Structures are given as C-alpha cells and as structure tokens.
Amino acid sequence: MPFLSEMSFLPDTATLVAYSIACFILFVTPGPDMSFFLAKTVQGGRSAGIAAMAGATAGNVVHSLAAAFGLSALIAASASAFTAVKVIGALYLLWMAYEAIRHGSALNLAGAEGGAPSLRRTFLHGVAVNLTNPKVVLFYLTFLPQFVAAGDPHAQGKLFFLGIYFVVFAFPLAVGLILIAERFIGLLKRNPRLMRAIDYSFAGVFGFFAVQVLRTQSR
C-alpha cells in the first residue's frame, strides 16, 4: 500500500515506547545543554533561557541529519559494524555511569556573565555548545542505532525520525524546566544529598542500559 510505504520511516509501537522512555531519561540527565539554558535563565530570565534552549534544539536537528545520512549506510551494509557501534554505545553508557558516581552530575552554573544577554547571541551560543558537545555527538552516533535493525532498508528515514522525535519530545520538557528553573536550582543547592542520590540513580540507569545494549543482537 502506497500510504504504508510512505510511512516506512516510523518504528513499531514497542520500539517507540522504549525510545520515549530513553528520551525522557536522557533529557533529565544534567549536561552542558541543560546547564547552559538553566544558567541563562538565572542570568537573563525566561526569554534568555528559551533562546539558549532553542539554540541547543537547532544543534540537535543538525545532529539528526548527520546521523541519518552517515549511519544508515553502515547499518544497511554491515551487521558486524553495527554490532561494533552497539559495543561502543554500551561502553559510553558505562563511562557515563562512572562519571556520575565519581564526579557527580551537579549543574554547573558558574561563569554566567552579569547583565541581560543578547537573545541572538544566546541562541548562537546554544548552537555552539550543542554542536561541540561530544556527549551529544556520541548520543546520535551510538544511541539512535540501538532502535534500528541492522539491514533495515529504511534505516536512514528511521534515524532521522528518531532524531527529530527526540527534539520534539524534549521541547515541552525543556520549556517547563525553564519556567521552574530558579526554584529547581535553589532546591538542589540546598540539598546536596538529594543531588548525590540523583547521581547514583543516573549511574544505575546508565549501567542498566549498557547491559541491555550488550545483550541486544542485530536483527
């Protein structure tokens, strides 16, 4: 059926549900993007925070395109290469678990300049922070393929869809986080034990996903 053929980029329901859960966990994990737009929210208010978040979102769109066009051929051509990507992804998740326990994932708001920032400059800074963040690059290079089968003839479309889906999924969550940023950050600063509990929770989640990735075989 032509209509179903045109929708071949859509993953099955089970895959989309699993990916949605993974997207949520990845979103709530503190990192450079989150730290940046929360810092800008504290510095310049909601407008600055949203501008920074929009910049990071634009960067994610670029990553989605790069992953789709660069990884689809690899997935379609080589099951062994696809397995290697999975192993790299699992090791990366284990490294993130180690980093969360050793260094913590506390938000870094240091270095925020005084005064109201330019929204255009803040947006461009958000793009730069995202595009130069190796964790984001590795997310698109190693995590997205976990949800696409090796040899899938529609791998390119599915990779792009998953990348854009993450952008759309995270957008309202980021806006909501910005709206409560000041109270959220203040709570963490007043409760270091809570922050450490979150660190260990993140480490456990990363470790679980690493095991699941290693157990997953190319289909």
- pLDDT by residue (tens digit) across 37-48? 877 777 777 888
109 vs 130, 165, 178, CA distance in Å?
16, 28, 14
> What does the alpha-carbon distance between residue 174 and residue 179 come to, in Å, rounded to a whole number?
9
User: pLDDT above 90 covers what percent of the chain?
Assistant: 8
Does 216 score more than 70 pLDDT?
Answer: no
Does 1 score more than 50 pLDDT?
Answer: no
Distance of CA 18 to the CA centre of its chain: 15
More reliable by pLDDT, 213 or 23: 23
Over the stretch 59-108, which tens digit does the pLDDT of each residue have? 889 888 887 777 655 654 566 766 776 777 678 778 867 877 876 654 55
Instruction: Give me the residue label for tokens 């600055």.
Output: 48
> What does the alpha-carbon distance between residue 119 and residue 199 come to, in Å, rounded to a whole number?
32
Mean pLDDT of all residues in 150-174 = 84
Q: Are 36 and 143 in contact (CB under 8 A)?
A: no
**All structural domains of the chain with their residue ranges:** 32-103+115-215
Over the stretch 204-214, which tens digit does the pLDDT of each residue have? 877 887 776 67
